[in-house]
Amino acid sequence: MGGFGNFAISFSVICILAGGMTLFGYGLNTGGPAVMMWGWVGIGFMTLILGACLAEVTSAYPTSGGLYYMAHRLGGPRWAWVTGWLNLLGLLGAIAGIDYGCALFVGAFANLQWGLEPTPETTILIFAGVLLLHGTLNTFGVRLVNVLNSISVWWQLAGVTLIVVALTLAPGERQSADFVFGHVNNGTGFENPVYVAAIGCLLAAYTFSGYDASSHLSEETKGAQIAAPKGIIRAIAWSWAAGFVLLAGMLFAIEDYAGTLGSSTGVPPAQIFIDVLGTGVAKGLLLVVIVAQLFCGNAETAAASRMVYAFSRDGALPGSATWRRVSKRTATPVAAVWLSVGVALVLALPSLYSPTAYAAVTAINVIGITPAYVIPVYLRRRAGDRFQPGPWNLGAWSKPLGWISVAYVAVLTVVFCLPQASPITAQSFNYAGVALAGALFLAWIFWITQGKRHYKIPPLGSTAESTALAGEVV
């Protein structure tokens, strides 16, 4: 793929019509419009800083392994091992979050079209079907992925424009700017407004993740040392701008706050469409969002499967010999694709009994992948002059922006391990921290049993790596 294709996969994975829409109800309940809008501005700005720092390291080490390969080159195998497991947890959590969110919107459409009642059981069945679709599409090779991602960029931009224009031009009264940028709503059960605002930023933090996809697809990108870093930066910047417009347009259009939160469709954005535009148009706009989410989940599956493949290529996962196999016909790691969607299904199963499970799934994505982003940045700072920058670098800005990124991620990781609803019960428990602890425990077990003896990353572009790859084509 070329530079646009590399940008397109990260833009598709960020997908504001996925993260911004599926957690819209969470945002309305956890802080309200003020937290949603200002959280988007603040998290987006910090993500741009972190993304720029990561892009600098990507320019030096453009490989499918992405973050963990960078960590290995800069800090050694132990750092790489931890980074890889965190990155993998985040990517798999992202597939679960995106595709489960898509299932919620499909359920809302089915409710309007056929009267199907959205229940946890029906949502899981739809979710499994979406995973099956994405697994199948990703077995056909990177060219199809590239085409779909390119379409996804224009679909998202056109979709945001269509939604905002339709809501703006529809007759009826609109909310004031004071409401959109100043109204606070706290339905969490917690009393501390700072705490509520912090956990309310999950909407933005979850949406602004996945831009490392440009790095994971770098071995399939022309001129990757320039194209991949630019892909990361452009994906974040365009998503930041488009997401601001989308959130503002949706919030200005709210007619009944309580009715929107308690929508019978199970999806608050659908209720806004119905209230302002009527059921017929609402169904059309839901289809626009669903297609965008399908594009997003497909791109995330591609990125995650490349991570599974690369990590297995270096012997870091149980059953690596299976997951690193590449199809001779399509040059695609088919087994890695199906492992990715299978684990994503398992991560979302608690939603069958927990109404807050979806927020936990999205938090898993954030607390897994965001620390993995910053570890190469931290190691690059620790390496000092030993780091050899690639052709795309930050120059004198690298040091201050790098340390700002490290501090930002440390705070973010702690916040999204905290409870998201009170009182804390088995149904409202945020199990994201448990998932993080479990992934780190598994990483430790596999490190002491096999990793420290067998885990070795071949030099970039070496004959050994090429030979190993050729030997795994089936």
With a CB cutoff of 8 Å and minimum separation 6, the contacts of 357 are 348, 350, 351, 431
Return the CA Rg of the chain: 21
CA distance 111 to 295: 22
The contacts of residue 437 (CB under 8 Å, 6+ apart) are: none
Q: Are 235 and 14 in contact (CB under 8 A)?
A: yes
Distance CA 120, CA 122 (A): 6
How far apart CA 271 and CA 375 sit, in angstroms, is 41
Tell me the C-alpha distance between 100 and 92, whole Å. 12
Per-residue confidence (pLDDT) for residue 268, from 0 to 100: 96
Return d(Cα 322, Cα 314) in angstroms, integer.
Answer: 12
Instruction: Name beta bridge partners: 31.
Output: 185
SS3 31: strand
pLDDT score at 247: 97
Tell me how crowded residue 441 is: count the other CB atoms within 10 A of its CB: 11
Question: In angstroms, rounded to a whole number, what is the distance separating the alpha carbons of residues 323 and 334?
Answer: 8
The pLDDT value given to residue 463: 35
Query: What pLDDT does residue 335 have?
Result: 94
Burial of 460 (0-12, 13-18, 19+ CB in 10 A): middle
Evaluate whether 272 touches 253 at the Cβ level (below 8 Å): yes
Each of the 474 residues of the chain gets a pLDDT tens digit; together they read: 788 888 988 888 898 998 899 999 999 999 999 999 999 999 999 999 999 999 999 999 988 777 888 999 999 989 999 998 998 888 898 999 999 999 999 999 999 999 998 899 999 999 999 999 999 999 887 778 778 878 888 999 999 999 999 999 999 899 999 999 999 999 999 999 999 999 999 999 999 988 988 887 788 889 999 999 999 999 999 999 999 999 999 999 999 999 999 999 999 999 999 999 999 999 999 999 999 999 989 988 988 898 898 888 888 888 888 998 988 887 889 999 999 999 999 999 999 988 788 888 898 889 988 999 999 999 999 998 889 999 999 999 999 999 999 999 999 999 999 999 898 887 888 888 888 888 889 889 989 988 887 777 755 543 333 433 333 444
Run of H or E residues at 185? strand 185-186
Q: How far apart are CA 323 and CA 333, in angstroms?
A: 7
Contact 331, 141 (CB under 8 A): yes
Q: What is the pLDDT of residue 198?
A: 96
Beta bridge partners of 186: 30
Long-range contacts of 418-424 (CB under 8 A, 24+ apart): 418/195, 418/198, 418/199, 419/190, 420/30, 420/188, 420/199, 420/202, 420/356, 420/359, 420/360, 420/363, 421/188, 421/189, 421/356, 422/188, 422/189, 422/190, 423/189
Give pTM, 2 decimals.
Answer: 0.89
Length of the chain measured in residues = 474
Report the distance separating Cα 69 and Cα 80, nearest Å. Answer: 6
220: its two tokens? 């399939």
One-character DSSP codes across 407-446: HHHHHHHHHTTS--SSS--TTT--THHHHHHHHHHHHHHH
